[in-house]
A and B are shown apart, each in its own frame.
Chain A
Amino acid sequence: MEKFTVLKGVAAPLPLVNVDTDMIMPKQFLKTIKRTGLGKAVMFDMRYEDNGAEKPGFVLNQEPFRNAKILIAGANFGCGSSREHAPWGLLDFGFRCVIAPSFADIFYNNCFKNGILCITLPQAEVDKLLAKAQEGNTKGGEFAVDLSAKTITTPDGVVTKFDIDDTRRHNLLNGLDDIGLTLQQLDKIKAFEAKQKAEQPWLYA
């Protein structure tokens, strides 16, 4: 997993609530056997007409948001299906950070497994950032997300602090491999199995 330290880039505003993972990555793209190449499918139905042409009114079809690295969205972002194809698509598009008032649990976890930072902020704070991001259409300029300092800086220099679980932060800052870390505890897993087998033998019958 790629390390996340400081991310600088354009933030795209998507002020919708309950954006589900079907919306982020529709079913027809779940047939891939790879993790890459899904960027073109992100938000597919909102992004393209039936004939494949871009819908000009959609934010990711507009400059400078085509190159956005940060997505700012409404509450309960990523609800529904557990499909990791949603964060894979966001990552492939270029997003490394999503900011919203709340996230669905599975999506949130999936993002961190792929080096995408999810930042939860109160609605009022998100609304301010959304307004700044919308100005990006005319003024340009980059946001900066500093995971070490736990800050978001808008193009005009306004700093917002955010909170994040220490372990998630540590793993992301260092790009750690979860499985490798867990395998260091293999003796504990085996000890658990021995104990469970003695107490609940039917689980090992």
Chain B
Amino acid sequence: MAAPRTLYDKLWDSHVAHSDGAGNCLVYIDLHLTHEVTTPQAFEGLRAAGRKMHRTDKTIAVPDHNVPTTPDRLETIKDPESRLQLEMLESNARDFGVPYIPMSDIRQGIVHIIGPELGMTQPGKTIVCGDSHTATHGAFGALAFGIGTSDVEHVLATQTLQMQKSKNLRVQVDGALPTGVTGKDLILAIIGRLGTAGGTGHVVEYVGQVFRDLSMEARMTVCNMTIEAGARAGLMAPDDKTFAYMMGKPHAPKAAQWEQAVAYWKTLKSDDGAKFDKEIRMNAADIVPHVTWGTSPEDVLPITAKVPNPDDMSDANKRVSAKRSLEYMGLIPGTPLEQVKVDKVFVGSCTNGRIEDLRAVAAILKGKKIASHVGMLVVPGSGLVKHQAEEEGLDKIFVAAGAEWREPGCSMCLGMNPDILQPGERCASTSNRNFEGRQGRGGRTHLLSPGMAAAAAITGHLTDVRKVM
């Protein structure tokens, strides 16, 4: 009998198109998501070498990183560099024959939001994109990971990647999350436990009742931030919830092929006794709302905690980096996190820009006003999310509370468009990275859940969402 395999083993084995026998494999890619920032040089590389794409039916192009989120964006994009990059995506898509979703299309949005929304993201697929948050799609039991531009070019030319297999890491979380605690808190707590390099060289599989209980949106939030623990991909075995989410999506399999696909997808789970190279185990009941205090996603604590004192840290490297982080963040050790005042609140990104996230924010903001010194941006992850939110009247709640309701894109998650923090500004953000300068030079980012972001908007400082629910 064959040895028991992990979900990752199965996904890997089923995509090796060639192996040299020494661990170097050509891995076939079923879906290639492309956007304007990490593709111009790849298409240029093809042209320079006189190469064509291997095939065009497994690639989709959509602008997201650079696009402004103001309504006038269809008339003009002021930043000439952004405009050029966006124009190049469109012309490259046209020249090479890649399906392209323009900014004016309701389906436009962040690549990692629209893949699942359109049913392109499917269990069992290998999915790549020149973006590290491609890990998102692992929520469907797809092997999905970010790549650099040279590899983007490689996939365009060959529909494969040269790879060596990663190791298996199992993250098991037992029990159920307490009220007010979300998938975002769960993944922040996991990153806090693993550290930003804890998953390096591994593919993570999330197992345990808590993940089965999560909605597809929350599962995507968890898998999305797997990269912040250093792992290239995060995986969850697909289940009935996954199939229900996918059914009827435009690119989902149809009719008899749907039945055939589901039968196959049901085999995509780790076998009993499958071997993991590394395992961690946590208890969901112990997790409370989390927020980051430093400049790395591993610098995270429960909202009930205080800003840590670097002098209490035993690891010398940690001590040095924590001192640097606190100086950058303008925080004093011992300050209760709930007393940290914020200037901006950002709701959006591929981590938390889905309809469920917007509903969570609206539930807190409904009938309330945001603090007078706070500016709040709510940026839907896609045109379809925006449409759904408006159907439900969520936009009216945001605007009535004093927030700005914008057009879809990556926006202030990384500030490649005009949505940036000013030096010294402090932001409660539902995005995924609190790196120095990430949201604008000198900007200070605190990562948290959508509900926590809404709570901070109302009180004007970091706040335990459970107090305003």
Chain A interface residues (CB < 8 Å from chain B): 16-18, 20, 22-23, 26-28, 30-35, 45, 50, 74-76, 79-84, 87, 102-106, 109-110, 113-114, 165-167, 178-179, 181-183, 185-186, 188-189, 191-193, 196, 200-205
Contacts and interface: CB of A to CB of B under 8 A. Distances in A.
Given A27-B415, A30-B37, A105-B200, A205 B254 contact: yes
12 contacts: A18-B196, A22-B414, A76-B196, A102-B197, A106-B147, A110-B149, A110-B151, A114-B150, A185-B17, A186-B158, A192-B28, A202-B258
B17 A192 contact: yes
A35 B41 contact: yes
A76 B197 contact: yes
Given A83-B38, A84-B150, A26 B437 contact: yes
A82 B160 contact: no
A17 B227 CA distance: 17
B423 interface: yes
Contacts of A188: 17-18, 26
B26 A75 contact: no
A33 B148 contact: no
Interface of B: 17-18, 20, 22, 24, 26, 28, 30, 37-38, 40-41, 44, 49, 51, 54, 57, 65-66, 79, 81-82, 84-85, 88, 124-125, 130-132, 145-151, 153-154, 157-160, 162, 164, 166, 196-197, 200-201, 227-228, 230, 232, 253-254, 257-258, 260-261, 264, 296, 298, 317-318, 320-321, 324, 414-416, 423, 433, 435-438, 441
A205 B30 CA distance: 12
A81 B88 CA distance: 22
B253 A80 contact: no
A203 B130 contact: no
Contacts of B254: 205
Given A189-B159, A203-B125, 16 more contacts: A16-B320, A17-B320, A22-B438, A31-B37, A31-B82, A45-B441, A76-B196, A84-B148, A84-B149, A106-B146, A109-B151, A178-B154, A179-B51, A182-B162, A183-B158, A193-B159
A102 B57 CA distance: 38
A104 B197 contact: yes
B30 A113 contact: no
Contacts of A204: 57
Contacts of A205: 253-254, 257
B26 A105 contact: no
A105 B135 CA distance: 13
A203 B30 contact: yes
A16 B158 CA distance: 38
Contacts of A181: 162
Contacts of A30: 37, 65, 416
Nearest to B433: A80
5 tightest A-B CB contacts, nearest first: A202-B253, A113-B150, A110-B148, A192-B17, A84-B148
Nearest to A75: B197
A121 to B, nearest CB: 15
Max chain B Cβ within 10 angstroms of own Cβ: one of A33, A113, A183 = A33
A201 B147 contact: no
Contacts of B227: 80
Max chain B Cβ within 10 angstroms of own Cβ: one of A18, A45, A109 = A18
B91 to A, nearest CB: 11
B22 A167 contact: yes
Nearest to A16: B321
